[in-house]
Amino acid sequence: MHVDDALRHWSAWLLTARGRSRSTVGSYLRDMQQFVHLSGLAELSGLDRARVVDWLNALAEREMAPRSRARKLSALKSFVGWAMEYGHLAQDPVPAELATQRGLDLPHALTQGEVQAILDATRGLDPLSVRDSAMLETLYASGMRVSELTTLRLADLHLPEGFAIVTGKGSKQRLVPLGHYAIEGLKAYIGPVRESICPTAPLHPEVFLTRRGAISRSMVFRLVQKYALLAGVKSHVSPHTFRHSCASHMLEGGADLRLVQELLGHSSLTTTQIYTHIDKRRLREVYDRAHPHA
């Protein structure tokens, strides 16, 4: 069943069989439409644990109020319950850990080798490969949110200086450094390659384009999964995984937590502490090297 049909039947069921108010049904439906959009879900049969976990991680990273997050989780559980009751899903994709609505810890970052394998899988001379290579290099180098990547404009790039101006939540702007590989990838892509992909490229300010215009978040999601598959990376990978990996690898390399906070665009250092992780061995190594009485 196509997910749009499923959402239509589910929302009608909430109104009639469950007696929910139109206001509640409208909120639940918007939550699930957001889930569908961000996860790139097309067929109900594709609703699995990996998509659910990735969506919940994205909600956690957005610094969303616990009440709003709980409502979104409630909407998901209701939708899954309906789908299972009517035989549209054979297994519950919502992890058992969510019974208390506390959510899950964020996923483990990819290893540096796994990230490199995925980036290597994008290498090619055709225009789409050049675009995808530049896009994933930029995603990993900057730790951008996928929404920030898809709305990044040519005017936001300052390649000679090695940084980009990123517009994040609440229209707040921040400077984000770009590594050598991202800069070289962008230089190779911007110009004739970008214009060969989109005939109306001069009319579009966004950096990354498809034939019809700015690339969508769901397409970025699909492309990341495609290259992870080609690279033989078996764990679930999404644009959010690249963001998490960027932050984690910087911390492993000794970066200051507040620098990572600025890179990610978090308003609170607490969010950065939750979002990233430092393993105890690495923390001990940094402490022994940095503290005068270690």
Q: Which of 266, 277, 281, 291 is catalytic?
A: 266
In the annotation, is 2 catalytic?
no
The identity of residue 256, as a single letter, is D
Alpha-carbon gap, residue 235 to 224, rounded angstroms: 12
Structure-token match 């994008």, residue found: 122
In the annotation, is 153 catalytic?
no
Q: Which of 275, 281, 289, 291 is catalytic?
A: 275
In the annotation, is 289 catalytic?
no
Q: Which of 145, 217, 244, 249 is catalytic?
A: 145
Q: State the DSSP string of 5-17.
A: HHHHHHHHHHHHT
In the annotation, is 291 catalytic?
no
Residue 149 Cα distances to 114, 173, 207, angstroms: 21, 13, 9
Q: Which of 169, 187, 212, 284 is catalytic?
A: 169
In the annotation, is 275 catalytic?
yes
Alpha-carbon gap, residue 27 to 33, rounded angstroms: 10
In the annotation, is 158 catalytic?
no
Alpha-carbon gap, residue 264 to 243, rounded angstroms: 8
Residue 28 Cα distances to 12, 35, 38, 125, 285, angstroms: 12, 11, 15, 45, 47
Structure-token match 């507040």, residue found: 258
Structure-token match 């616990």, residue found: 66
Q: Which of 51, 217, 243, 249 is catalytic?
A: 243
Q: Which of 51, 217, 240, 244 is catalytic?
A: 240
What amino acid positions are annotated as catalytic residues?
145, 169, 240, 243, 266, 275
